[in-house]
Structure 1
């Protein structure tokens, strides 16, 4: 199981990487300035970090392993994005002065981006964490006093 610290690191790194990619892309695609799209991305990301922490904690309870199938990864990513869009579509509409339909379409663009990003990022994060935890366990084993009976 993941620790709270690991869950926060996972969510934070996922969102930070996403902001750095999606803000300039969305500004380019929508014609809104980078400052508006960047600050919107930060607000949405803050909400996403909170939701991600809660969602991944729940998902870890349902699927308590790091070795997840592609179907489980898709369920993890879709559950996160669908929960988030219920809140963010209204924020996007207000922030960019858009109608709900336009905001939903833009929000779905964010969802599509982050869905792909999460499916790339999460397995990489798990692989890195598995290696780090294995190294830590090996170091601890080497440092433990040897029982010589």
Structure 2
């Protein structure tokens, strides 16, 4: 049935495409609003430079967010038969997400800001640290605000 959620073996459904898109976009918009002024202040870099890097990062992260979360949920369904996340799973989810994104963003930071790969790595690790905490808090809050209905589908 189109537009419905897929149920796990325990009766808890997976999120549908519209919900995943809302999740990814809201995550990035709120993250951008927080990280751009904070990054400009911490790194003493013009707001427009941090803004451009942050925007390009957000676009890459939005695409990665959708793909990663869909894959993560499918793995959970296959391994556990359920997409609900325990605290250790939430921590693994956030760490793995940021590690994958770090590999993509490192060259972008170095090139656009005209800094060394080491400087870009340190800057990117700072952003990753921020987003690691932010992703954990955001995803938990999202699951509370937009819970997956037990009887959906």
TM over 0.5: yes
User: How much does 1:130 deviate?
Assistant: 1.4
SS of the aligned residue for 1:40 comes to: helix
Alignment of 1:42-81 (within 5 A): 42-64=55-77, 65=82, 67-81=84-98
Equivalent residue number for residue 8 of structure 1: 21
CA distance in 2, matches of 1:51, 1:67: 20
Cα pair 1:66 1:126 within 8 Å, conserved: no
Asked if 1:91 is matched to 2:104, the reply is no
How high is the TM-score relative to the length of structure 1? 0.85
Name the structure, 1 or 2, with higher relative contact order (CA <8 Å, separation 6+): 2
Q: Secondary structure at the match of 1:107?
A: helix
Q: Distance in 2 between matches of 1:12 and 1:79?
A: 19
User: Which 5+ residue runs of structure 1 have no aligned equivalent?
Assistant: 138-149
1:119 and 2:124 matched = no
Query: Is the aligned partner of 1:105 residue 2:122?
Result: yes
* Bigger Rg, which one: 1
Count of matched residue pairs: 135
Q: Deviations over 1:83-124 (max 9, x none)?
A: 111010000001110000000000000100000000000011
Displacement of 1:67: 3.1
Distance 2:97 2:24 in 1: 11
Aligned residues: CA RMSD: 1.6
Structure 2: which 5+ runs fail to align?
1-13
TM-score of the two chains, using structure 2 as the length reference: 0.83
1:19 aligns with 2:36: no
CA distance in 1, matches of 2:121, 2:21: 28
